[in-house]
């Protein structure tokens, strides 16, 4: 529903936004765009207003951005997953037909945390979604920044590449799982380290990536299939950030 755009009553306000009876205008501070968060409120400021309804914003592509805190929201639950690390490179020794794979990338860390945003409608929160890219210097950590808090789910480590020689092949070692951290964290909060990636195999099997420990994160992809120098390194999965407003 939406309140009337013309004449409006206390009952119209209570029907749309809830609250206790008798009505105290201060209980409706910041309930919608254009309604003050303090001081004097006039009846006309409630015309043509709609109460907040719960919804989520989810970002799964590596990069950064910001979201605006919706008016009327009381809390936000943050779900933050760091990117998986890439696998190591495989190696092949054609003269003896051996294929040795790189280690799998570690899984990203995971944070699940509910905080109060009451009265902060219109403010913005910044976020970063970590990248599972193989090359360059990607930011693997996923984070949210607002006021004095910066919860961060660190990305998984890269698996090492296969090494050695045809007589003494050494599979790659799995990358370390990402941890969690940041400023302003306080209980209750769920925090999990990502799982370590698996080691590579001397017979061509890829080293599977680690999953986010205890959380819903994707895997850091494993080492390349039966390894050749041309096979390359498999990227980890990008992280993600979700804002669930209530």
Confidence of residue 218 (pLDDT cuts 50, 70, 90): very low
Q: What is the C-alpha to C-alpha distance for residues 166 and 76, in angstroms, rounded to an integer?
A: 55
**4 within a domain of the structure (yes/no):** no
Does residue 144 sit in the same domain as residue 220?
Answer: yes
**99 within a domain of the structure (yes/no):** yes
Does residue 175 sit in the same domain as residue 218?
Answer: yes
**1 within a domain of the structure (yes/no):** no
Does residue 170 sit in the same domain as residue 237?
Answer: yes
Instruction: Single out the residue of 138, 132, 89, 161 nearest to residue 221, CA to CA.
Output: 132
- CB distance 78 to 245 below 8 Å: no
Domain with 127, as residue range(s), is: 54-246
What is the value of pTM for the model shown? Answer: 0.80
Q: Which residues contact 39 (CB under 8 A, 6 or more apart)?
A: none
**3 within a domain of the structure (yes/no):** no
- CB distance 217 to 211 below 8 Å: yes
Q: What's the distance, Cα to Cα, between the start and end of the chain in Å?
A: 18
Token digits for 125?
């929160």
Per-residue pLDDT tens digits for 139-197: 999 999 999 999 999 998 888 887 766 566 677 788 888 999 999 999 999 998 888 87
Does residue 14 sit in the same domain as residue 73?
Answer: no
Confidence of residue 221 (pLDDT cuts 50, 70, 90): very low
Does residue 22 sit in the same domain as residue 88?
Answer: no
């Amino acid at each position: 529903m939406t309140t009337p755009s013309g004449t409006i009553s206390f009952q119209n306000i209570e029907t749309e936004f809830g609250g206790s009876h008798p009505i105290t205008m201060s209980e409706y501070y910041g309930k919608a765009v254009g309604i003050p968060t303090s001081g004097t409120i006039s009846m006309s400021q409630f015309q043509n207003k709609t109460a907040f309804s719960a919804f989520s914003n989810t970002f799964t592509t590596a990069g950064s951005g910001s979201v605006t805190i919706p008016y009327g929201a009381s809390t936000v639950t943050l779900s933050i997953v760091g990117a998986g690390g890439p696998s190591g490179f495989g190696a092949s020794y054609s003269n003896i037909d051996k294929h040795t794979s790189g280690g799998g990338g570690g899984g990203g860390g995971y944070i699940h945390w509910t905080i109060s945003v009451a009265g902060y409608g219109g403010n913005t929160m910044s976020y970063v979604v970590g990248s599972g890219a193989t090359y360059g210097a990607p930011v693997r950590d996923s984070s949210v920044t607002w006021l004095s808090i910066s919860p961060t789910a660190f990305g998984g480590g890269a698996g090492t590449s296969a090494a050695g020689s045809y007589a003494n092949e050494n599979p790659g070692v799995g990358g370390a799982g990402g941890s969690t951290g940041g400023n302003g964290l306080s209980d209750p909060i769920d925090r999990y380290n990502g799982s370590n990636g698996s080691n590579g195999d001397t017979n061509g099997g890829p080293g599977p990536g680690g999953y986010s420990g205890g959380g819903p994160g994707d895997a850091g992809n494993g080492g390349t299939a039966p390894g050749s120098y041309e096979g390359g390194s498999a990227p980890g999965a990008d992280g993600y950030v979700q804002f669930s407003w209530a």
